[in-house]
Amino acid sequence: MRAEDAPMIRLEDYRPSDWLIDTVDLDILLDANRTRVRSLLKLRPNPQGRQGAPLVLDGDELALGSIALDDVPLAPTLYTSTPQSLTLPSPPDRAFSLRIETELNPAANTKLMGLYRSSGVYCTQCEADGFRRITYFLDRPDVMSVYTVRLEAVKAEAPVLLANGNLVASGELPGGERHFAVWHDPHPKPAYLFAIVGGRLDHIRQPYVTAEGRKVELAVYVEPGKAGRAGWALDSLVRCMRWDERVFGRNYDLDVFNVVAVSDFNMGAMENKGLNIFNDKYVLADPLTASDGDYISIEAIIAHEYFHNWTGNRITCRDWFQLCLKEGLTVFRDQEFSSDERSRPVKRISDVRTLRSTQFSEDAGPLAHPVRPRAYKEINNFYTPTVYEKGAEVIRMLKVLTGDDAFARGMDLYFERCDGTAATIEEFLDCFIETSGQDLTHFARWYEQAGTPTVVASGHYDAAAGSYTLELAQSTPPTPGQEEKAPVVIPVALGLVGKTGDLPLNSISPALKAGGVVVLDQPSLNLTFTGLSEAPTPSLLRGFSAPVRLELDLGDAELLRLFTADSDSFNRWQAFQTVATRALVRAGKSGNLSELAEKARELAAALADFLAGPAMADPAFAAQVLRLPSAADIAREIGKDVDPDAVFAAHRALSRAIGAALAEPLSALQVQLRQHGPYSPAAGPAGQRALRNEALGLLALALPVEASALAQARYAEADNLTDRLAALAAMTLIPGEAREALIGRFAELYADEPLVLDKWLMAQALIPEAGTLDRVKALMASPAFSLGNPNRVRALIGGFSANLTQFNRADGAGYGFIAGIVTELDRANPQVASRLLGAFKTWRMLEPGRRDLARSALRMVAATPGLSRDVSDIAARSLA
């Protein structure tokens, strides 16, 4: 079948499996090229399915070795097998067993789905449908089975043998060359959570006792020699386990919990039951090879995968349309954990930045889809910011709307009622309907309707009456396949800010709920607040209470007042960003930079006060304030006929002007925030580094000569990767020999550290200069790069595709380059290729010239013969 002809899979076509598999016994003989898999399945008819139905097992690039039914070899006339399926047209009308043998070539598996080898280590990746690349199976999440797995390998090649669950037996085989291990997982699970690992690995471990008293052995496995870098991951694991016990009442449920880091991995990490497999980028950390940002991501992703044990594994998804049931909820849980571990406002700001840059842009383009899609051709293309990040926002809104107490009881009810099942969004929401007594039918529209709603707010103060009237109106732009949009339920957390702080919220409107939340569930609504002796400034969408765009009728002066006076930290940050964004949008559209100069003075004055005052109390927050909206943020705000060069020029001009106006305080920070004592990844010192380095970035644009000296000194004296990278990043903004020299020194220093070189590759790929494409092509030939490793590809090629001016070169060379790599990479690894093609998701917002060039590049991809389903799906939807 040609990829374009792949069938559309639809939510409405869901029906329960006709067959169930109660137990799976696997016997796997690991070998680089000829791994033998023997599978024993105990099947029975599903009482919920059709009786007398054929048995159709899924496969993917499989070859059947042998097959026996109830231990008797099956006659060839009784089944058919292809690489994609194994069919028994008339299986017995009762429970029976099947023995199936397949043979695999892990070393040749470049898709990194199923069983493969990463730097000599055998590992698996089965979500979403990789298990069918190991053996024929009912590879769907609502078929849950108890697994027993026997692994056998040459001991020297794979001294470590791991699988899901608990170790029940192990030993050497006669002759002493080979050994085996048997693992049993008592928890029924879908095949996508199956995992094994075999290889030479070092590990660190720690005993843990759950709140319920279960003794658990925790371990983190890494490549030999890297155990010294596993401590932070293990430490994060312990902290998130305690947190889940305390906050969600969730305890771990096996005797061991293993985390394994591998260097070739398509995604971030995977929550396989009791055996999480990670991209090593999200495990390994020490001060000289991981940045503060890495420490933060490791903590968050360790927590994310661990939290899946309840939200994903114990309760899994009925079908892949329910993906957000586990992903949105688990992202919400990991965000809450990080907020509690660090600064809640700073975490919120950084999450909202990510949401806007990745999800809002997805929602505004051809790949827009609902949090719960209704149809797909390739499920791997739906592990998206919409399912993950917007999915988490929907949970956050649910919490705001139902209240902390009903939300907590709703979660408890969900854990109790759905434990051990493959559930749906409806079953999840039912729990909150029960505990809150609210009708959530309208709220559920967030799961069905794509697109980012816009809320327009306008207010009027009546001095004589002492009242303030606020009007809120919502609308959602059309998205592919959804022309008409209905209003959604938008919780708008708000405050009215007066001269000396928040004013009381008095309103008889039923739309105003406890805690200052206005529920906008109609196209528009009017609300009057009384008892106000001064004109208030509204502070809307506090804490970013809903994933919407907000249009305010506030002037810049009022916004800058919120920047200093709002009691909500998020909105203080937002107010400043909004003023900067407005100025950049105007200049980016008109190309007129003169008006920007005046805004720069206003913004710089506000920042100068801020830096002289409150900034020092919370440097991490101050760093977020200093970081202006990115050029890509501005392009997205403009939204149509975007000229990336004009946007970039405006962004540069504003940054430079602010940097120049604040040269003195920004330089002072370089001295003031200099750290003494050993490196610590804790929030406090990391915040200081962030502020100091953010300031250095502004100086690099405004005073390149001075900043170049500062950056080189920073690099020389740094005792940690964060400062070294900040120095490198600052230098990339200053063309010249010093920059090239530093780039060279960095590469020498880290020649044996691929994860650090990824950052070096990316820093160069992001240089906003015409020479960057050639630089990237040259780097592809360097030993630091490999098209076979997803991290290398994402760093260099992915980095380039995020370079606003160079990916979007006016001559189209950036598009042609990415399109060419996508088609080449697709032959080896379709998932990584199709993610790379996602770079085109905003092509329709470009000015006509670039739009045409981007379209041609996409057409070139779409017309390539033999495309994978992954890439052809993205190409087709992007062009539709």
Binding site residues, ligand PHE, CB under 6 A: 125, 127-128, 267, 269-271, 304-305, 327, 383
Tell me which of ligand PHE, Zn ion, none is bound by residue 517, counting a contact when its beta carbon lies within the kind-specific cut-off of 5 to 8 angstroms.
none
Q: Residue 166, Cβ neighbours under 10 Å: how many? A: 15
Angle between helices 813-826 and 869-879 (to 10 degrees): 150
Tell me which of Zn ion, ligand PHE, none is bound by residue 127, counting a contact when its beta carbon lies within the kind-specific cut-off of 5 to 8 angstroms.
ligand PHE
Rounded to the nearest whole angstrom, what is the least distance from the CB of residue 189 to Zn ion in the complex?
A: 15
Rounded to the nearest whole angstrom, what is the least distance from the CB of residue 301 to Zn ion in the complex?
A: 9
Rounded to the nearest whole angstrom, what is the least distance from the CB of residue 421 to ligand PHE in the complex?
A: 18
What letter represents residue 627's amino acid? R
Tell me which of ligand PHE, Zn ion, none is bound by residue 363, counting a contact when its beta carbon lies within the kind-specific cut-off of 5 to 8 angstroms.
none
Nearer residue to Zn ion within complex by CB, 327 or 633: 327
Task: Determine the straight-line distance between the first and last CA of the chain, rounded to whole angstroms.
Answer: 21
d(CA 757, CA 773): 18
In this structure, the chain runs to a length of 880
Nearer residue to ligand PHE within complex by CB, 128 or 654: 128
Q: Are 319 and 14 in contact (CB under 8 A)?
A: yes
Task: Identify the active-site residue in 127, 152, 223, 305.
Answer: 305
Rounded to the nearest whole angstrom, what is the least distance from the CB of residue 17 to Zn ion in the complex?
A: 24
Closest residue to ligand PHE, based on beta-carbon distance: 267
Rounded to the nearest whole angstrom, what is the least distance from the CB of residue 127 to Zn ion in the complex?
A: 9
CA distances from 178 to 32, 459, 746 (A): 14, 76, 43
Tell me which of Zn ion, ligand PHE, none is bound by residue 158, counting a contact when its beta carbon lies within the kind-specific cut-off of 5 to 8 angstroms.
none
User: Cis before residue 700, ω within 30 degrees of 0?
Assistant: no
Residues in contact with 295: Cβ distance below 8 Å, sequence separation at least 6, in sequence order: 232, 285, 681, 686
Residue 305 annotated as catalytic? yes
φ, ψ of residue 867 in degrees (nearest 5) = -65, 150
Q: Are 534 and 558 in contact (CB under 8 A)?
A: no
Rounded to the nearest whole angstrom, what is the least distance from the CB of residue 334 to Zn ion in the complex?
A: 8
Tell me which of Zn ion, ligand PHE, none is bound by residue 267, counting a contact when its beta carbon lies within the kind-specific cut-off of 5 to 8 angstroms.
ligand PHE
166-172 and 178-190 as β-strands: parallel, antiparallel, unpaired?
Answer: antiparallel
Tell me which of ligand PHE, Zn ion, none is bound by residue 383, counting a contact when its beta carbon lies within the kind-specific cut-off of 5 to 8 angstroms.
ligand PHE
Which residue blocks in 419-518 are alpha helix, DSSP H?
Answer: 425-436, 445-448
Q: Residue 217, Cβ neighbours under 10 Å: how many? A: 15
Rounded to the nearest whole angstrom, what is the least distance from the CB of residue 396 to ligand PHE in the complex?
A: 18
Rounded to the nearest whole angstrom, what is the least distance from the CB of residue 320 to ligand PHE in the complex?
A: 11
CA distances from 821 to 259, 419, 453, 702, 862 (A): 32, 44, 35, 36, 13
Q: Are 158 and 197 in contact (CB under 8 A)?
A: no
Tell me which of Zn ion, ligand PHE, none is bound by residue 362, counting a contact when its beta carbon lies within the kind-specific cut-off of 5 to 8 angstroms.
none
Rounded to the nearest whole angstrom, what is the least distance from the CB of residue 312 to ligand PHE in the complex?
A: 7
Nearer residue to Zn ion within complex by CB, 395 or 638: 395
d(CA 603, CA 609): 10
H/E segment holding residue 4: none
Nearest partner of 142 among 25, 20, 55, judged by Cα: 20
Rounded to the nearest whole angstrom, what is the least distance from the CB of residue 841 to ligand PHE in the complex?
A: 19
Rounded to the nearest whole angstrom, what is the least distance from the CB of residue 190 to Zn ion in the complex?
A: 14
The three state secondary structure string of 320-385 is HHHHHHHHHHHHHHHHHHHHHHCCHHHHHHHHHHHHHHHHHHHHCCCCCCCCCCCEECCHHHHCCH
For the four alpha carbons of 243, 244, 247 and 249, in that order, the dihedral sign comes to negative
Rounded to the nearest whole angstrom, what is the least distance from the CB of residue 131 to ligand PHE in the complex?
A: 12
Residues in contact with 82: Cβ distance below 8 Å, sequence separation at least 6, in sequence order: 59
Residues in contact with 771: Cβ distance below 8 Å, sequence separation at least 6, in sequence order: none
Nearer residue to Zn ion within complex by CB, 327 or 351: 327
Residues that bind Zn ion (CB under 5 A): 327, 330
d(CA 470, CA 767): 45
3-state secondary structure of 652: helix
Tell me which of ligand PHE, Zn ion, none is bound by residue 497, counting a contact when its beta carbon lies within the kind-specific cut-off of 5 to 8 angstroms.
none
φ, ψ of residue 537 in degrees (nearest 5) = -105, 120
Nearer residue to Zn ion within complex by CB, 139 or 327: 327
Tell me which of ligand PHE, Zn ion, none is bound by residue 125, counting a contact when its beta carbon lies within the kind-specific cut-off of 5 to 8 angstroms.
ligand PHE
DSSP string, 492-534: EEEEEEETTEEEP-----TTEETTTEEEE-SSEEEEEE---SS
Nearer residue to ligand PHE within complex by CB, 326 or 599: 326
Nearer residue to Zn ion within complex by CB, 330 or 537: 330
Nearer residue to Zn ion within complex by CB, 261 or 721: 261
Nearer residue to ligand PHE within complex by CB, 304 or 542: 304
316-317 and 275-279 as β-strands: parallel, antiparallel, unpaired?
Answer: unpaired
Nearer residue to Zn ion within complex by CB, 302 or 607: 302
DSSP string, 120-184: TEEEEE-TTTTGGGTS-B--STT-EEEEEEEEEEETTT-SEEEESSEEEEEEEPTTSSEEEEEEE
Rounded to the nearest whole angstrom, what is the least distance from the CB of residue 614 to ligand PHE in the complex?
A: 37
Nearer residue to ligand PHE within complex by CB, 320 or 573: 320
Rounded to a whole number of angstroms, the CA Rg of the chain reads 28
Tell me which of Zn ion, ligand PHE, none is bound by residue 389, counting a contact when its beta carbon lies within the kind-specific cut-off of 5 to 8 angstroms.
none
Residues in contact with 42: Cβ distance below 8 Å, sequence separation at least 6, in sequence order: 21, 22, 23, 24, 95, 97
d(CA 647, CA 653): 10
Tell me which of Zn ion, ligand PHE, none is bound by residue 25, counting a contact when its beta carbon lies within the kind-specific cut-off of 5 to 8 angstroms.
none
Tell me which of Zn ion, ligand PHE, none is bound by residue 195, counting a contact when its beta carbon lies within the kind-specific cut-off of 5 to 8 angstroms.
none
Nearer residue to Zn ion within complex by CB, 248 or 468: 248
d(CA 34, CA 103): 6
Nearer residue to Zn ion within complex by CB, 309 or 545: 309
Tell me which of Zn ion, ligand PHE, none is bound by residue 384, counting a contact when its beta carbon lies within the kind-specific cut-off of 5 to 8 angstroms.
none
Give catalytic residue positions.
305
